Amino acid sequence: MNTVTTAAELKSIVNNFRSQGKIIGFVPTMGALHQGHISLVKRAKSECNVVISSIFVNPTQFNDKKDLEKYPRTYNKDAEMLQNVTCDILFYPSEKEIYPEPDTRVFDFGNLGNVMEGSQRPGHFNGVAQVVSRLFNIVQPHKAYFGEKDFQQLAIIKQLVKQLSITVQIIPCPTLREADGLAMSSRNVRLSPEERKAAPLIAQTLFKVKELYATKTIKELSTFAKQQIGTQKLMELEYFEIVNATTLQPADTKGAAGENVACIALRMGSTRLIDNIIL
């Protein structure tokens, strides 16, 4: 695995690969890698000639500076994991490489960006759009791989690519879960033993909502989910929403399979967790 730290060097390497007709796959990360990230790299390896992964903790998408400071940074372990899965290039830039000048661009994703995470974390998706568009400009991938756990982020990135006419194919990949159902997340390591023991209730609730989906109304399902989370004193619910999978607006009708998605966000102590399930 080749580790590259500058945009200029990476662009030169990528241009060489592209001139040879190689298909470039890209997996952007903020490090603190887990098997969910590795599954994206494996998927990219199966579909592309060259796989590039980046590690960059993007400051512009954190609306809470404490959250940025606490974000786990495990570069040596991350690099070893990528090496073991035969990632071809690790892009590990400094902040100055990604933002040579302050990025003042403001994106408008309309209603996609106003709901759920958008309302809870003002400015978050603008920061995501800044860094992803910058990375796409540097890496010039044919395909980019993102996990469905961040369902709203995935929708935003698809919209970003349309708005900026970026020629990259966005590949959604299924959420990977621990044996007890908890969605894999870099933030899970911040849970206390007691919180970690309680955390599978999130996935259990979502699985039950999916099971009940055929026989209950959307209102009944929302009430059920909120009651379930309410039974766990360690959890502070931020939202539970059943939304249209394309528009992310609250679902009026149940529609066909896959048309709606149940999304949840909550806090356990100082750790914020999100999850979803396609209905």
Final residue in a domain of this structure, among 125, 142, 173: 173
Question: 262: helix, coil or strand?
Answer: strand
Final residue in a domain of this structure, among 173, 202, 224: 173
DSSP string, 110-159: GGGGTSTHHHHSTTHHHHHHHHHHHHHHHH--SEEEEETTSHHHHHHHHH
Claim to verify: residue 14 and residue 149 sit in the same structural domain: yes
Residue located via tokens 């030169």: 12
* Tens of pLDDT, residue by residue, the chain (279 residues): 999 999 999 999 999 999 999 999 999 999 999 999 999 999 999 999 999 999 999 999 998 888 888 888 999 999 999 999 999 999 999 999 999 999 999 999 999 999 999 999 999 999 999 999 999 999 999 999 999 999 999 999 999 999 999 999 999 999 999 999 999 999 999 999 999 999 999 999 999 999 999 999 999 999 999 999 999 999 999 999 999 999 999 998 888 889 999 999 999 999 999 999 999
Largest CA distance in the chain: 58
Per the domain annotation, does 278 fall within a domain?
no
Per the domain annotation, does 181 fall within a domain?
no
CATH code, domain with 220? 3.30.1300.10
Per the domain annotation, does 39 fall within a domain?
yes
Claim to verify: residue 18 and residue 57 sit in the same structural domain: yes
Are 127 and 60 in contact by the 8 Å Cβ rule? The answer is: yes
Claim to verify: residue 106 and residue 218 sit in the same structural domain: no
State residue 169's pLDDT score: 98
Claim to verify: residue 192 and residue 164 sit in the same structural domain: no
Both tokens of residue 240? 């539970």
Q: Supply the range of the domain harboring residue 161.
A: 2-173
- How buried is 245 (Cβ within 10 angstroms: 0-12 exposed, 13-18 middle, 19+ buried)? middle
Claim to verify: residue 18 and residue 143 sit in the same structural domain: yes
Final residue in a domain of this structure, among 173, 196, 220: 173
Per the domain annotation, does 180 fall within a domain?
no
Give the H or E element holding residue 117.
Answer: helix 117-120
Claim to verify: residue 257 and residue 158 sit in the same structural domain: no
Please identify which of the residues 34, 37, 124, 142 carries the catalytic annotation: 37
Q: How many helices (H) and strands (E) does the chain have?
A: 11, 9
Are 89 and 2 in contact by the 8 Å Cβ rule? The answer is: yes
How do 24-29 and 143-147 pair as beta strands?
A: parallel
Closest CA to 28 of 158, 109, 125, 131: 131
Q: Is 124 assigned a catalytic role?
A: no
Both tokens of residue 18? 């592209």
Question: 10: helix, coil or strand?
Answer: helix
pTM > 0.85: yes or no: yes
Per the domain annotation, does 179 fall within a domain?
no
Question: 26: helix, coil or strand?
Answer: strand
CATH code, domain with 92? 3.40.50.620
Are 168 and 238 in contact by the 8 Å Cβ rule? The answer is: no
